Structure 1
Amino acid sequence: MAHLLGAEALHLEFPTRVVFDSVTIGLNEGDRIGVVGRNGDGKSTLLKLLAGRIEPDAGRVTVRGGIRIGMLDQSDTLDPHLTVGEAIVGDLADHEWAGDPRARDVISGLASDIDWGARVGDLSGGQQRRVALAALLIGDWDVLFLDEPTNHLDVEGIAWLADHVNRRWPANQGALVVVTHDRWFLDAVSTDTWEVHDRIIEPFEGGYAAYVLQRVERDRQAAASEARRQNLMRKELAWLRRGAPARTSKPKFRIDAANALIANEPPPRDTVSLQSMAMQRLGKDVVDVLDAGVRYGDREVLRDITWRIAPGERTGILGVNGAGKSTLLGLIDGSIEPTSGRVKHGKTVKIATLDQRLAELAEVQHDPVRTVIGRLRTSYVAGGKELTPGQLLERLGFSSAQLSTPVKDLSGGQKRRLQLLLILLDEPNVLILDEPTNDLDTDMLAAMEDLLDGFPGTLIVVSHDRYLLERVTDQQYGIFDGTLRHLPGGVDEYLAIRAGRPAGGSSPRPTSSAQERVDAGGARTASAAPASAAPASAAASSSPALSGAERRNAEKEVSAIDRKLTKLNAELERLHAEFAAHDHSDYSGLGRLQQEQQQLEQQIEELEMRWLELSESLEA
């Protein structure tokens, strides 16, 4: 694979610390890299070094001639006087960008609910971030550096972004380097992982799941001082293995060693024991939402909601921005009164909410962390073990030196962790988490999930972080057109429902002038919208029915594809077995196997897409 850019012997230091010391790393055609590491270890700084935004103190970054590099930086700001259209497509005429499939796809995926003529300065922070991402993705780049691109995107938007970057370049072309705390997104787009820690960059094969497996094995062999970290990552590994099979089908290293490790690990949480404790603390009645609805003036946000929340229930709530998720949480915690129906709370219920505003810290921002936690309980029970506040702080990533730090001087992630600690020390038996992943890195997310595993009460989570929802909750509900719907199939079912909903159906995305311009500039009507801007099922439903001969040919091709997929999947299983048994010092042999596997996976993906197209046409 052709070399795109490389960093040689990079050294960078700030006045108080060294960020990188003699780091050498390279980026080749076809690389899809996810970057992980603790907050403050240099992930964003690495992207800026590679993109040429900042210069190293020593060493150099070399870029192949003619390479076009695009970057989304967390600090990037748009001209507030520009309109949304000017910020995204510049001075291009409508017919120019509307005739570009990529532009239509990006605008539909990121800016369809934003007024095309609005000033950038009048948008919310989240909308400005989406406009900046759209403006970048419309461009033609050989290398993309994305720093937290999933911020301010909902589950549907994150799924769209993953699909977009996966389709953006042909196989073995282009390169992507992404920093994000969204572990589902990392698994969906990355084929390799770089861990930034202790002034170095350590590469791992595979996405986040593969990285966790390899890191567990590495930590298992480390010194005894790493014991606490090993146990945490092994627990994470046990959940990964018990999750979707696809998560463990990708790692390209010794699966037999990982399986032996998994066999000795307990489940992530003892559900039966926790529910028993919850019943003792909560009683039979928790919160009953009975035919409840909420209306603000002429706008009906929720209607006919009936939900009897049980002791020990662990539920995730999904919905697009503005669907009514926060309103539903308000009904549950009593901060919002229903305009119809009623909400009944059990006598022993004690509800606490981890919201996005850090309200618990406003009154203590000038106090040291030690003083703040000293005012509360002296111990806390998690998973049957009694922990001191100091031990809880350690589990959440605080060092003993940080106990004397004033709250106002903590980082965003540290404030978020302290907020969770204060809530847990108050010992609620119903815990509501509203976007709890903000400002947390992947290590801290794993630590928080480990802590929540031992929470014996009822847990309700609203988050766009798909990995978190699947990790800490046992069931999911979705809000569609103001009603609550159980999702036995979880997030996948939610996305399928959203993708299959026709225009004008329940909970549509608001019509935007941008989409109208796509129709006008592309000389298409709403009923003949470009395929890239419409759900696949909607496109299929509008296609003409097949003739008799066409239907027979399609059925034959479907049968042929089924047979090919069976053979290719068997071949892929054979390659996995060969990987597990191969001598891992034989790098050329491993490279050959990896290339064969990538080619097989590409063939399987293409056949599956063709199978879906044919199936939809046969059902039309």
Structure 2
Amino acid sequence: MAHLLGLESVGVVRGARPVLGDVTLGLDDGACVGVLGRNGAGKSTLLALLDGSLAPDHGRVTRAGGTRVVTVGQSDALPAGTVQDVVHPGAADHEWASQSHVRGIHDGLLADVPLDADVATLSGGQRRRVALARALTTDAEVLVLDEPTNHLDVEGVDWLARHLRARFGRGRGALVVVTHDRWFLDAVCTRVWEVVAGVDGAAGTRAGHVETYDGGYAAYVLARAERERAAAVAAEKRANLLRKELAWLRRGAPARTSKPKFRLDAAAALIADEPPPRDRLALTRTASARLGKDVLDLEDVTVRYGDGTRPVLEDVTWRLAPGERVGLVGVNGAGKTTLLRLLAGDQEPTSGRVRRGRTVRVRALSQDAHELTEVAHLRVVEAVEEVRARVEVGGKDLTAAQLVERLGFTRERAWTPVRDLSGGERRRLQLLRLLVDEPNVLLLDEPTNDLDTDTLAAVEDLLDSWPGTLVVVSHDRYLLERVTDHQVALLGDGRLRDLPGGVEQYLELRRGDVPGRSGSVGTADGYPTHARDTGPAPRTEPAEREVSAVPSAADQRAAKKEMSRVERQLDKVATRVAGLHEQLADASATGDVEALARLTRETREAEATQAELEERWLEAAEAVG
């Protein structure tokens, strides 16, 4: 494949701090690269090097002759004019309308955006789609996208993934994308570049670097885990050698001889050679208020804005059970935020009623983090102390400063004013303030905004063990399918619909309902379809046919509850088996024959129970589909 773009031993220095050092990367035809890394690690710097907007301080950027690079940044900066002028500058209607792939882009991104509208009047989501359409309609060989799924709904993310797969799967051109959307990474990318932030240590400041992985996000997670396992083995060997050196020093000759000096140098070299650890964070579940059997019920709720207007929600009845975990999807403007406001008690319905249990403590995570405006003058630790100064976590009493450190804030950043935090740091602080208040019902509105993949993984692990009721609104399919047990949808008709087939069923419903899109699904919007997308899209009408293709809603709910129940039992049995093995080892060391016989019998029984539970889990998983 032809080489398009490359970095050779590139380094970037900001002030006195090296951001990236000795980075060598290459882009060839057909490459689809996902860029990951913690917030502030240098992802945007890497993109600026690739598109030529930033020159390296050392090394060089190579580009094949005639290679054109187009970038879509996070800011959605657009020139003044109408939508058509911005997307097709200087082109007559017949020039772009005669191209099938351009018409496909219009259908996928601009179906509800008037071409004669002034871009200054557009919403954030519309501006994002105009910016994407402007870039996708060019003939650039390299496309660089910075968080392209921001402001897109689930349907928009799905369309963009299919379009990019079809375009770059042909082996012509290359794609580089920075995104926190793990489903999108797996659907589009065949390679991952992880930007690892530099560290400041006793040995000096180390620049950030880039580690490369083959495959999408799932392959990256496996490969990174293996690298970290190998690094842990090497670190253990280094620590053992260091302990031996220090033990020799304690037994060695006086310091005036040459041997201790040699040994001191050897120990110092071992310490200096210690690789910097990854910047990790730990989210630990705080105590939650007890939740009774009655949580939140919406009974025949209708919400209407203005007289004579079509209701946003109409005769909606929805009952949330204790411990229920539900994902909410829907088109923009369908009423998702309105529904959350009703549940949170921030809005009253036009008709109908919302019933709340007496023990319910609802807390909501908003999209725009407006809750932090009132504490912008406070430092991070003070903003947490305002909610609660001390919290019990895992049986230990932790201060606000200790909690902030667990959430990935360094000691320096912990005393930074809230107004000076980055978007990702503000999101983490917003989440921490919400959790230390110990709610038992969580409402999360687009919780993945501004969070990197490491933080998202920590949040998901936390939510896995959280015992309360959870409602998540998100376009992030990976998050929805990871932390919720089932999904519901608002399709824009004011009704709330159960989705036994999950997000995929919602997308099929939308493809059947939206004019102009159902015909472009099979051809990937004008491009030859990638091998993974061959064949026409399944028909979605009538609605009863698609629902009957999957188990009934009642069957799926029962199977998911059975899976959750069995998973909890498996955790307990696994802990018991591990404990029995430790007792067996102790009994074997002491030679206690009676204990060995008893423990062997108990171990076999526990392992048999474990195997039976695993079979039950597999049966339930098959029922879920």
Into which bin does the TM-score normalised by the smaller protein fall?
0.7 to 0.9
Distance verdict in 2 for CA 1:76–1:464, change over 3 Å: closer
Q: Distance in 2 between matches of 1:407 and 1:54?
A: 29
Pair 534,203 (structure 1): closer, same or farther in 2 beyond 3 Å? closer
Q: CA deviation at 1:394?
A: 3.3
State which of 473, 482, 488 in structure 1 corresponds to 2:500.
488
CA distance in 1, matches of 2:495, 2:83: 32
What does residue 105 of structure 1 align with? 104
Equivalent residue runs for 1:328-477 within 5 Å: 328-380=339-391, 388-477=399-488
> Using a 3 Å threshold, how does the CA distance of structure 1 residues 20 and 133 change in structure 2: closer, same or farther?
same
For the pair shown, which has the larger CA radius of gyration, 1 or 2? 2
Distance 1:20 1:370, change over 3 A: same
Q: Alpha-carbon deviation of 1:16?
A: 4.6
The partner residue of 1:293 within 282, 299, 302 is: 302
The correspondence of residues 188-203 of structure 1 with structure 2, limited to 5 A, is: 188-197=187-196, 198=198, 199-203=208-212
Do 1:434 and 1:462's aligned partners in 2 also have CA atoms closer than 8 Å?
yes
Alpha-carbon distance change, 226 to 410 in structure 1, aligned in 2, over 3 angstroms: farther
Aligned residues: 478
Mapped partners of 1:463, 1:110: distance in 2: 19
How far the C-alpha of 1:384 sits from its partner, in A, is 7.7
Can you give the 5+ residue segments of structure 2 that lack an aligned partner in the other structure? 199-207, 237-282, 546-625
Aligned counterparts of 1:61 and 1:145: Cα–Cα separation in 2: 16
CA gap 1:206/1:442 in 2 versus in 1, 3 angstroms: same
SS in 1 for 2:312: strand
> 2:231 aligns to what?
222
Between 411-420 and 88-97, the greater mean CA deviation after superposition: 88-97
Query: How many angstroms apart in 2 are the aligned matches of 1:226 and 1:112?
Result: 55
State the 1:324 CA deviation.
0.5
Check the 8 A contact 1:12/1:19 in 2, yes or no. yes
* Residues 156 and 495 in structure 1, CA contact (< 8 A), matched pair in contact too: yes
The answer to whether the Cα contact below 8 Å between 2:381 and 2:404 also exists between their aligned partners in 1 is: no
> Larger deviation: 351-360 or 458-467?
351-360
Q: Does the 8 Å contact 1:148/1:180 carry over to 2?
A: yes
Distance 1:305 1:612, change over 3 A: closer
1:12 counterpart SS class:
strand
Aligned counterparts of 2:313 and 2:394: Cα–Cα separation in 1: 36
Question: How far is the alpha carbon of 1:451 from its aligned partner?
Answer: 2.3
**Secondary structure in 1 aligned to 2:349?**
coil
Deviation, structure 1 residue 194 = 0.4
1:56 aligns to 2:68 (yes or no): no
Q: TM-score when scaled to structure 1? A: 0.72
Report percent identity of matched pairs. Answer: 55
What letter matches 1:313 in structure 2? E
Per-residue deviation, 1:25: 0.7
Which residue of structure 1 aligns with residue 135 of structure 2?
136
1:248-288 Cα offsets, whole Å, 9 max, x none, are xxxxxxxxxxxxxxxxxxxxx9xxx99xx98x811110001
Shift, 1:313, TM fit: 0.9
Deviations 1:347-374 (A, max 9, x none): 1111111102323222221111222223
Aligned residues of 2:69 and 2:141 also touching (Cα < 8 A): yes
Contact 1:101–1:532, Cα closer than 8 Å, also in 2: no
2:24 alignment partner in structure 1: 24
Q: Which amino acid aligns with 2:59?
A: G
1:184 aligns with 2:183: yes
1:497 aligns with 2:423: no
Give 1:389 shift: 3.6
Q: Using the alignment, how far apart are the partners of 1:120 and 1:54 within structure 2?
A: 28
Aligned residue type for 1:316: G
Partners of 2:195 and 2:211 within 8 A in 1: yes
Residue pair 1:383, 1:453 contacting (<8 A) in 2 also: no
**What is the 5 A alignment of 1:237-316?**
281-297=290-306, 298-316=309-327
CA distance in 1, matches of 2:110, 2:220: 33
Q: Write the deviation string for residues 333-356 of structure 1: whole angstroms up to 9, x where unpaired.
A: 122211222111111111111102
Residue type of the alignment partner of 2:450: D
Q: Secondary structure at the match of 2:290?
A: helix
Q: Which amino acid aligns with 1:44?
A: S
Question: 2:535 aligns to what?
Answer: 609
Task: Please tell me whether the aligned partners of residues 521 and 536 of structure 2 are also in contact (alpha carbons under 8 angstroms).
Answer: no
Aligned to 2:273: none
Task: State how far apart, in whole Å, the 1-side matches of 2:223 and 2:156 are.
Answer: 30
After superposition, give the CA deviation of every residue in 1:287-316 in whole Å (9 maximum; x if it has no partner): 011111111222210112111101111111
Shift of 1:184: 0.8
State the partner residue of 1:549. none
User: Matches of 2:338 and 2:3 in 1, distance apart?
Assistant: 51
1:205 aligns with 2:186: no
In structure 2, the CA distance between the partners of 1:473 and 1:385, relative to structure 1 (3 Å rule), is farther
Counterpart contact for 1:382–1:454, Cα < 8 Å: no
Report the AA paired with residue 439 of structure 1. Answer: D
Give the AA of the match of 1:27.
Answer: L
- Work out the CA distance in 2 between the residues paired with 1:386 and 1:204: 41
Q: Would the aligned equivalents of 1:315 and 1:477 in 2 still touch at CA under 8 Å?
A: yes
Do residues 72 (structure 1) and 72 (structure 2) align?
Answer: yes
User: Residues 308 and 159 of structure 1: is their aligned pair in 2 closer, same or farther, counting only changes over 3 Å?
Assistant: same
1:489: how far off? 1.6
Distance 2:382 2:344 in 1: 29
Look up the equivalent residue of 2:324 and give its one-letter code. E
Bigger Cα displacement from structure 2, 90-99 vs 30-39: 90-99
Q: Does 1:11 align with 2:11?
A: yes
Q: Give the distance between the partners of 1:612 and 1:309, measured in 2 at CA.
A: 32
Q: Could you tell me how far apart the structure 1 residues matched to 2:310 and 2:234 are?
A: 57
1:31-50 aligned at under 5 Å gives the runs 31-50=31-50
- Does 2:124 match 1:125? yes
CA RMSD for the aligned pairs?
Answer: 2.9
- Aligned-pair distance for 1:6? 1.2
CA distance in 1, matches of 2:154, 2:70: 24
- Classify the secondary structure of the residue corresponding to 1:27: strand
Mind listing any 5+ residue stretches in structure 1 that lack a counterpart?
228-268, 504-528, 540-600
Q: Is the 8 A contact 2:169 2:530 kept in 1?
A: no
Alignment-mate amino acid for residue 449 of structure 2: N
The question of whether the paired residues in 2 share the 8 Å contact of 1:396 and 1:447 is answered with no
Deviation at 1:173, TM superposition (A): 2.4
| In 2, Cα distance between equivalents of 1:221 and 1:209 | 19
TM-score by length of 2: 0.72
In 2 relative to 1, CA 602–383 (structure 1 residues): closer, same or farther, beyond 3 Å?
Answer: farther
Distance 1:495 1:207, change over 3 A: same
Query: Alpha-carbon deviation of 1:450?
Result: 2.0
- Measure, in 2, the Cα distance between the counterparts of 1:418 and 1:151: 20
1:220 Cα deviation after fit? 2.2
Structure 1 distance, partners of 2:329, 2:394, is: 27
Q: Which amino acid counterpart does residue 512 of structure 2 have in structure 1?
A: G
Q: Give a deviation string over 1:454-479, Cα, whole Å, max 9, x none.
A: 32211111111111111211111001
Give the C-alpha shift of residue 535 in structure 1.
Answer: 5.5
Distance 1:105 1:226 in 2: 53
Contact 2:405 2:414 in 1 (8 A): no
After superposition, the C-alpha distances for 1:380-403 in whole angstroms (9 at most, x for unaligned) are 456787655444323422122222
